[in-house]
Amino acid sequence: MTKNEIADVLNEIGTLLELQGENPFKVRAYQTGARALEAVEEAELSRLIAEGKLGTIKGFGEALVQKITELHTTGKLEYFEKLKASIEPGLAEMLHIPGLGPKKIIVLKKQLGVTSIAALTEACHAGKVAGLDGFGEKTQEKILAGIKNREAYCRRHLWWDAWEVAQPIVAGLRALQQVQRAEAAGSLRRGADTIGDLDFLVAATEFEPIVQWFVAMPGVKEVTAQGKTKASVRFESGLQADLRIVPEDQFVFALHHFTGSKDHNVQMRQRALARGLSMSEWGLVPAEGEGTAKEKAENNALRTAANTEVELFAALGLTFIPPELREGLGEIEAAERGELPHLIELKDVRGAWHNHTTASDGRNTLAEMTAAAQALGWEYFGVADHSKSSFQAKGLSEERLEKQIAEIKALNASKKFTTHVFSGTECDILPDGQLDFDDALLAQLDYVVASVHNVFTQDEATMTARIIRAIENSHTTMLGHLTGRLLLRREGYKVDAGKVIDAAIANRVIIELNASPWRLDMDWRHWRKAAERGLMCAINPDAHETAGLEHVRAGINAARKGWLTKAHVLNTRSREEVEHVFAARR
C-alpha cells in the first residue's frame, strides 16, 4: 500500500472509533498519525520500515507503527477489518448528512436506536429527533433536508468515477471475440460533469455471448433488464449501465443516437427531415415511402452508408462535431458554416498552477509532487498552498511561505527535476475582498491564485463585490474556483458570474477552470462567451496528492464543452510565455 492509502485507512479508523464513542485522545492519535505519515516520502517510509525505525517519527506510537507496517507490507489490517465489521454501515453513511457528526450520531443510536438513514428519516417524521438534547426543530428540519438532497445526489455520479468504471468495460467488450466495435456513449462520451448512467454500444457478429458477459461482470449487483440485443445492470456503487448491441452497418448511427444529447438529436433529425431524410438509431433513410424507419434501414438500397461519424455528419452537410459539443447549443449551425473550433486536447497541456503540498493540506511533499509532474511530461508545475486564514487546511504563515519560496528556488537551482517549479499561493480572499497576505510578500511570488474559502453565506451582491475587489488587486494572477461548488455535495455560494468575468477581463486576470472532478468550476456553460470576449483560462487540478494531477483530464472535458481552443488556455504556453503573462499582469 502507498502512504496515502495507508493514511486513508488511519483516518477511517479514527472516524469509526469516534462513532464507537472512543476517547478523543485515541481518535486524535490516528488523525495526527495520518497527517504525519503524509509528510514522510514514499521511499523514506519503505526504508524506515525495513530498518524497523518507524517509531523514530514524531506522532507514531507503538500501536501505529505496528498497523502502518502491517498495511505497508500486506496491504491489509486485521484490526481495521474487525472494527469495520463491528459497526453498523448505516452509521458511517449518516456522516454524509450535513449537520450530523459522530457525537450526534451516537446520541441518535443510544436514545432512539437509529442505525440507518431510513430509520433516521422515520424518526424525524415522527418528531422524535427534535426532542433530543442538543437537537431541536431546526436541526431536525436540516437533517431531513440533508437526507433529501443526498437522495437526489445519489442518483448521479461524478464523471471521473463513471469513467474509471467504464474504461475497463470498453476494453473488456473489445476483447470479446464476437465484438467488432465497442464504445461508451451517452453523457460520459459528451464529457458531462455528472453522469446518470453509463451507455455502452457494441457492434458484433453474435449477440448472445455479449449480453452474457455484460450481466456477469464483476461488481454487478442486479440485472435490471436483459434481452436479445440489450441489457441493463446496477453495480454495487449504485451506478447503472445500459448495453446495446447492433449489426456493424448500424453502429455509427446508433453511436450517434446514444451519445446524444437529446437536444442535439432533435436538431439533427429536423435537419435530416428538411433534406427529405429520416434519422434514427437505425440509420439515415428517405422520409417518404412505405415502412418504418427500422425496416427501411434494413434495406441496403434505401439506407445511407456511413462507417464513421465523420461520414454521418457529412451526409447532412456538416463537418464532424466532437461529442463534447453535442448539446444543441449552436454546434450544428457552426458545423454547417465550417466554423467549429479546434478544441484543446489533453496533450496540449504543459503544466498547471493550483496544487498543494504537505506544507498545507496536501498529502505529498514538494519533491514528490514535482516528480509526478515531471512523470506527466510537464514543462512546469505550480505550488499554491493555502494562506494563513485557512487554518483548518494548515495555511502557511508569512514565515512559512517565505521558507517555501526559498525552498522552491533551491529546488529549481539544483536542477534535480527538468520540470520548473513556479512559486505561488492560494491566497484567501477575506470577507471584505482583501487578500490574506500583504503586498510585499505577494510581490515575492511568481503568481497568486485568489480564492474564497469562508463566509459563504454573504448575499450575491456582497460576494460579487468581494471577489471583484480581489480581482482588482494587482497581485492577483488568477481567480480560484469561482463558486466553491462541490458537485453532488453542495451548491456554490451566490455570485454574479457575468460581473466577475467582466472584471477579470478588464484587469487581465485569469479565471481558473478547477479540474478537480467534484468542482469543475467555473462551469463549462460560461466559458464560450467569456473566452470570445478575451478571458484567459487556466486549467488547474487543485491536486492534493500526486494522483490528483491527472484530474487535468476532467478539466479538459469541461474546457472542450466550453468550446475552448489552445489559444484560450494558459496551460498550453511555454514556460517563457507563462512568465511573460504573469509579469505583464503586474
Residues lying near ligand DGT in the complex (CB under 6 A): 186-187, 192, 195-197, 199, 257-258, 260-262, 265-266
Among 18, 38, 183, 242, the residue binding Ca ion under the rule CB under 5 A is 242
Q: Indicate the residue among 27 and 332 with the shorter CB distance to ligand DGT.
A: 332
Spatial distance between the Cα atoms of 109 and 455, rounded to a whole number of angstroms: 32
Binding piece for Zn ion, criterion CB under 5 A, among 3-11, 17-25, 191-199, 443-451: 443-451
Q: Does 281 participate in binding Ca ion (rule CB under 5 A)?
A: no
Residues 19, 21, 23, 25, Cα dihedral to 10°:
10
C-alpha dist (Å) from residue 422 to 133, 162, 384, 399: 52, 33, 9, 18
Contacts of residue 252, Cβ cutoff 8 Å, sequence gap at least 6:
306, 307, 308, 309, 311, 312
548 binds, among ligand DGT, Ca ion, Zn ion, none (CB under 5 to 8 A by kind): none
Q: Does 265 participate in binding Zn ion (rule CB under 5 A)?
A: no
Among 38, 199, 324, 428, the residue binding Ca ion under the rule CB under 5 A is 199
Q: Indicate the residue among 200 and 282 with the shorter CB distance to Ca ion.
A: 200
Among 14, 102, 146, 186, the residue binding Ca ion under the rule CB under 5 A is 186
Q: Indicate the residue among 199 and 542 with the shorter CB distance to ligand DGT.
A: 199
- In whole angstroms, what separates CA 442 from the centre of its chain? 29
Helices (H), 208-292: 208-215, 251-259, 262-274
The type of residue at 187 is: S
**423-440 as b/e, with b when 16 or more CB fall inside 10 Å?**
bbbbbbbbeebebbbeee
Smallest gap from Cβ 384 to Zn ion, in A, equals 9
Q: Indicate the residue among 39 and 239 with the shorter CB distance to ligand DGT.
A: 239
Beta bridge mates, 382: 422
258 binds, among Zn ion, Ca ion, ligand DGT, none (CB under 5 to 8 A by kind): ligand DGT
Smallest gap from Cβ 582 to ligand DGT, in A, equals 38
Q: Indicate the residue among 3 and 156 with the shorter CB distance to ligand DGT.
A: 156
Spatial distance between the Cα atoms of 448 and 429, rounded to a whole number of angstroms: 11
Q: Does 451 participate in binding Zn ion (rule CB under 5 A)?
A: yes
Residue whose C-alpha cell reads 449480453 in the numeric block: 211
C-alpha dist (Å) from residue 12 to 80, 89, 430: 9, 13, 32
Smallest gap from Cβ 557 to ligand DGT, in A, equals 13
Smallest gap from Cβ 517 to ligand DGT, in A, equals 15
Q: Indicate the residue among 197 and 368 with the shorter CB distance to Ca ion.
A: 197
Determine whether 477 is exposed, middle or buried from the number of CB atoms within 10 Å of its CB (0-12, 13-18, 19+). Answer: buried
568 binds, among ligand DGT, Zn ion, Ca ion, none (CB under 5 to 8 A by kind): none
Smallest gap from Cβ 390 to Zn ion, in A, equals 8
Give the residue nearest to ligand DGT (CB).
260
Find the helix or strand (DSSP H, E) in which 74 lies.
helix 62-74
Main-chain phi, psi angles of 441, to 5 degrees: -75, -45
Smallest gap from Cβ 3 to ligand DGT, in A, equals 35
Smallest gap from Cβ 240 to Ca ion, in A, equals 8
451 binds, among Ca ion, Zn ion, ligand DGT, none (CB under 5 to 8 A by kind): Zn ion
Residue whose C-alpha cell reads 477511517 in the numeric block: 12
Smallest gap from Cβ 239 to ligand DGT, in A, equals 10
Q: Does 193 participate in binding Ca ion (rule CB under 5 A)?
A: no
Give the residue nearest to Ca ion (CB).
186
265 binds, among Ca ion, Zn ion, ligand DGT, none (CB under 5 to 8 A by kind): ligand DGT
Q: Indicate the residue among 63 and 273 with the shorter CB distance to ligand DGT.
A: 273
Spatial distance between the Cα atoms of 531 and 18, rounded to a whole number of angstroms: 48
Smallest gap from Cβ 323 to ligand DGT, in A, equals 10
Smallest gap from Cβ 324 to ligand DGT, in A, equals 12
163 binds, among Ca ion, ligand DGT, Zn ion, none (CB under 5 to 8 A by kind): none
Smallest gap from Cβ 355 to Zn ion, in A, equals 11
Beta bridge mates, 234: 222, 240
Residue whose C-alpha cell reads 486524535 in the numeric block: 28
Whether 13 contacts 30, CB under 8 Å: yes
Q: Does 483 participate in binding Zn ion (rule CB under 5 A)?
A: no
Q: Indicate the residue among 156 and 475 with the shorter CB distance to Ca ion.
A: 156
- Write the DSSP assignment of 130-197 as a string of letters: TTSTT-HHHHHHHHHHHHHHHHHHHTSEEHHHHHHHHHHHHHHHHHSTTEEEEEE-HHHHTT-SEES-
3-state secondary structure of 204: strand
Q: Which residues bind Ca ion (CB under 5 A)?
A: 186-187, 196-197, 199, 242
Where along the sequence are the contacts to Zn ion (CB under 5 A)? 451
